[in-house]
Structures are given as C-alpha cells and as structure tokens.
Chain A
Amino acid sequence: MPAILELNNLCKAYGAVVVADQLSFALEKGEALGVIGPNGAGKTTMFNLITGTVGAQSGEIRFNQTNITGLSAANRCRAGIARSFQVPQPFGAMSVFENVLVAATQGAGEYGNAANQLCLDILERTGLIDRANAPASSLTLLGRKRLELARALGAKPSLLLLDEIAGGLTESECTSLIDTIKDIRQTGVSIIWIEHVVHALLAVVDRLIVIDFGKKIAEGEPHAIMASNAVREIYLGIEADV
C-alpha cells in the first residue's frame, strides 16, 4: 500500500517552545492512526501543520506522493485533507445544513443538488438531520462536535483528521461515534485521530503514535504501545531512569 501522507522531519517552534521536533511518520491509504500524548505535546499543532493553518519551519509534508508543504490550507482541503477542530469552530449564524454545505461546495467542489444531497446524507449519518435548520451557535457541545465531523466529511476527504472528537461525550454517545467513524473507514477514508478517550481510539485505529514535546516517542501496535514504558512514563510520571 502506498503512503497517503508522509511527514519528513517537520519542525515548528513558537520562540523557545518547540511544538514539532523532527516529526516524521507515514500513513498508508485506508489506515487509521491514533495519536496520544499529554496536553501541550504538539498534537493539535501537528494537525495545524498538516492542514496548513500553521506553516512549518522546516521539513516536508507529502500527500499522495506530492509535496504539499507550500500549499495553502484551502488548497490542501480541496486536495482531500479535512479536519475537525478540537475547539469547535462553527459558522455560528449559519444553519447546521449550511455549515456542511460550505464544505461540500467549497472543499469538495460539489454543485447544486449533488451538494445538497451529499449534505443531507452526511447529516443523517452524523445524527444532525433533526437540527438541520438550527443555527450552529444553538448546538450543544455534542452537537458542535458532530458538526465538526459532518463538515469535515462534507469536504469529501481522502484523509480525515479528528481532533479529540470523543472528549466530553457520554458512554453511549461515544459508542455511536465509534460506529460512525468505523463506517467512515469502510468508505476508504484514511484517518488520523487524536484522542484522550483511549478505549474509543483502540476500537478504531490500526496503529498508535505517542507524541511528547513535539517529538514522536513511540509508534506501533496500539495495545503494545499502551503497555509500553514510554506511555507509562508520560502519563503516570514515572521516570524510568534519570
């Protein structure tokens, strides 16, 4: 399987704070990759770098074997990379349907009725159809997170980046979200998922990487990674050897 996404030695720092330090990994077509790491480790920054809302200082991002490091965020979305934001960023005064329609028309380049049908289909799949006419600002947190997912899907991505989309959900909401994401995988979309809700992550992903201080510190089979010393060290604060 060819890689859909490759990060080669990506670096980014805000002053002295390094948020991406020689970050490298590859994602195969159709693969689902989980990303964990403590708060402030640079996980969301990694998404910002991949989607182009933040520019890398050095390094290279390849998408479908093409160097996209110099591409704008808008063009990367049109090329097939869509994301959900950790802190939802709805178009507040627009309706839920119109929010998704923005993605379908601008990101996926759909027109007219095809765009409308795509959005309606997505709203049904994400359970938002009953709120289609509500202004996005009236949604609850769960609704906003679903809208993030719906909007990302509206752009018809081949690579979907999910940023803590299960955070703050109840158990049953989480289960239905897992089902939705599994369905999305079935359609052949590659996924990178940043998540603190580990059981949700493990139910979906094929592989896990651990990021701390902008560095990839572990990578591999999810359960093995969760049991590894590197993860224990980070989350439980046990210093292996000083």
Chain B
Amino acid sequence: MSDTQQYAIDRFSPASRIAAVAALVLIIALACGPWWAGRADMRLLSELFLYMALASLWNLLAGYAGLVSVGQQAFVGFGGYCLFAMTMFFGIPPLMAIPVAGVAGALISIPVAFLIFRLRGAYFAIGTWVIAEVFRLSAAQISALGGGSGTSLPVTIVKSIASSRALREAASYWMALAILVVVLAIVCLLLRSRRGLALTAIRDNELASQSLGIDIWRAKFFVYVLTGGLTAAVGALIFLQKLRISPDAAFSVNDWTAFVIFIVVIGGIGTIEGPIVGTIIFFLLRETLADLGALYLMILGLVAIVIMLRAPKGIWGFVRQKTDLDLFALSRRVVTRKKHQSSHANEDNKGEPHEPQTT
C-alpha cells in the first residue's frame, strides 16, 4: 500500500497547459475585435460564437448524456421569444433578459424532460421534435408578438443597448463572445467534475455506469435542464442580434438543429474540442461555398458522409486517436513522482502521458 505514495495524479498535460494559455490569448485578442475587425467580420464572428455555443451544448446532450435531441430549436426559439416578451411587455433591459431567458428555459425544460424521458432512442429524437413543433405553434398564437408572422424589436429597446450604432455592434459582439466563453467554461468545468466523470462513463457504457452507482436518469435530467437553460440564453442573444423574430425563424429545425448536428458530427461527437473544430470548418465551408447556392448544401452533405465513413468519431476523434491530445485537461494521468523513479523497472511510460499505449 505504501507503494501507491510514489504515484500522483496529473490533471494537466503539457498540451493542455499550452492550450489554456493559447485560449486566454485568443479570448483577449477576440475581445479586442471591435478595434481590429470590420463590421462584417464582427457579425460573422458573432454568428460563429453563437453556433459554437449551440454545438457545444448539443454535444453535451447527445455526445455525453446520449440524449440525441433534434428539438433543441425549441429552446433557441423559447429563449428568443422570452427576450422579446420581457423587453417589450415588462421593460426588462435586454442584457438582463438574456440570463432571465436562460432561467426560464431551464424551468420549462423540467416538465418537458419528465414527458420525453419516457421515450428511448429514435422515439426520443422524434419526441423532442414534436415538442419543438408544439412550441412553434404556441408562439404563433401570441398575437401580441405578431402571431404567425412575428415581430421586430422596437427601436427604443434597441437603442437602450447603446446609443451609437458602432457601440451597439460592439456590445452585441462582446455578448456573443461572452456567452460562448461562459458556455465553454461551464461545459469544461462540468466535464472535469465528478458529475462529468459520471457523464463520460454514461457516454461510454450505460450498463456499467448504473452498476457502478451512477443514477443515469438523474444525470441525464441534469444535463437536459442545464443545456435547455443555456440554449435558451443563446437563443435570446441570437434574436437580440437579429432584432426580429418569427415562429418559423425561431423554431427552425434547419438552422438550430440540423446545422448544429452537422457541426458536432464532423467535429467529433463526445469530445469537448469536436464542436469547436466543427464550427470552424462549417463556417469555412459556408463562407467559401455559399455563392454556389444549392450546390453548397450538397457539398455539406458530401462532407458529412465522407467524414462519417472515413472518421466516424469526427475530425477531433480522429486526431485524438492518433495523438491522444486533450486540450481541455479533462483527463487524469497517473504519473510517477520523480524522486522514486529508480525503484521500478518498467515505469518509464507512466511519466509520459503521450506515450501511445497499445497492445
């Protein structure tokens, strides 16, 4: 037993240390965006941040908790409508309305979870879609928010964000960046925690998970409510930027679920890096190919098919398989403490986290 004293657990690898510093530098550089980026670039980056946040949340839901939802547009739209309702009817400042929309999204996801958690697999997926349609049809009934044709955010509310247009654009860019950082931080901290360990176990094997003391229902419920709330907050911000909301746009399965699934699948489902890589690739493809019209969508489909066939775990899954990279310091490495190194013969490989260990 005293032997164990010579081992220690290392939660950071050199790669994750470098990644942490790089991420910090990148966040600061991006935060300075309004000083170096043009108006169009800032818009594009905002959209990229928001998609990255949505993809990270969907990945948590589907990739870790195994809840393959095709109805997350329910929460995007719900968040958007919450923001419009709260700012227009109750005079809540837009900035405040975003976290409130998040809380409302989390609350509404509780009864939804009780309802659809009775379904499994494909039935669950369809169930989530049905729920989203119910949300869409309900939103179309709110005549004060324009019913089926939607409504625009009144100019006074828009101006309350900031007085000048340039400032408003900077503010909206910062909000998008901030919400992405918040979402990634929450996902990262969650996955590094005990609960995250349980979630990762559920991702890999549900049968073994429950036999080792993990309450699967509760773990999934927690993730569903958390992602529901955060997705609603992201949705609120999306429609604060669009300044206009309609049921079809707010609850679009294409925009808020199909593209998001594409991003997560090509990036690498079940890895925290996957949605980040996927979002960047998605936007690169979109920006270079968007002029091709319908051909663009066909190319997207082709990319998805090729990646699913060639690298079923996505681009990051492929990279990880080859290099064992872990940029978010989620893993726990057993390392030998240097001072005792001479006492064991075959321990060289324990000190080097990146040694590929295959049989």
Contact = CB atoms under 8 A, between A and B. Distances in A.
Contact of B332 (A83, A85, A95, A111): A95
Interface in A93-126: 93-95, 97-98, 101-103, 105-109, 111, 116-117, 120-121, 123-124
Contacts of A102: 197-198, 201, 209, 212, 214
A53 interface: yes
Nearest to A97: B334
Interface string B189-231: 0000010011011011101111111111000000000000000
Contacts, number: 127
A94 B200 contact: yes
Nearest to A100: B212
A72 to B, nearest CB: 7
A106 B334 contact: no
A77 B213 contact: yes
B156 interface: no
B346 interface: yes
Given A89-B208, A133-B333, A105 B194 contact: yes
A107 B331 contact: no
Nearest to B206: A89
Contact of B201 (A75, A94, A97, A130): A94
A89 B215 contact: no
Nearest to A81: B211
Contact of B4 (A77, A95, A124, A151): A124
Contacts of A98: 197, 200, 331-332
A101 B212 contact: no
Given A120-B4, A131-B357, A132-B350, A77 B205 contact: no
A107 B355 CA distance: 30
B214 A138 contact: no
Interface in A124-149: 124, 129-135, 138-140, 143
A90 B205 contact: yes
B353 A78 contact: no
A75 B213 CA distance: 6
Contacts of B309: none
Nearest to A135: B357
Interface in A181-212: none
A97 B7 CA distance: 12
A73 interface: yes
A54 to B, nearest CB: 11
Of B1, B197, B215, the most chain A CB neighbours within 10 A belong to B197
A82 B204 contact: no
A138 B355 CA distance: 13
A117 B359 contact: no
A61 to B, nearest CB: 15
Nearest to B6: A120
Contacts of B331: 95, 98
A25 interface: no
Contacts of B3: 124
Contacts of B212: 77, 82, 102-103, 106-107, 151, 154-155
A86 to B, nearest CB: 12
A132 B216 CA distance: 26
Given A93-B270, A130-B347, A130-B350, A106 B214 contact: yes
Contacts of B214: 74, 102, 106
A-B residue pairs, 9 tightest by C-beta: A107-B213, A91-B204, A134-B357, A132-B334, A77-B213, A89-B208, A106-B213, A120-B4, A73-B210
Given A103-B213, A133-B357, 18 more contacts: A75-B213, A75-B215, A91-B201, A91-B209, A94-B204, A103-B212, A105-B197, A106-B194, A116-B9, A120-B4, A120-B7, A120-B334, A130-B350, A131-B357, A135-B357, A138-B358, A138-B359, A151-B212
13 contacts: A82-B212, A83-B211, A89-B208, A93-B200, A93-B204, A94-B201, A98-B332, A102-B212, A106-B212, A111-B194, A132-B7, A133-B353, A154-B212
Interface of A: 51, 53, 72-75, 77-78, 82-83, 85, 89-95, 97-98, 101-103, 105-109, 111, 116-117, 120-121, 123-124, 129-135, 138-140, 143, 151, 154-155
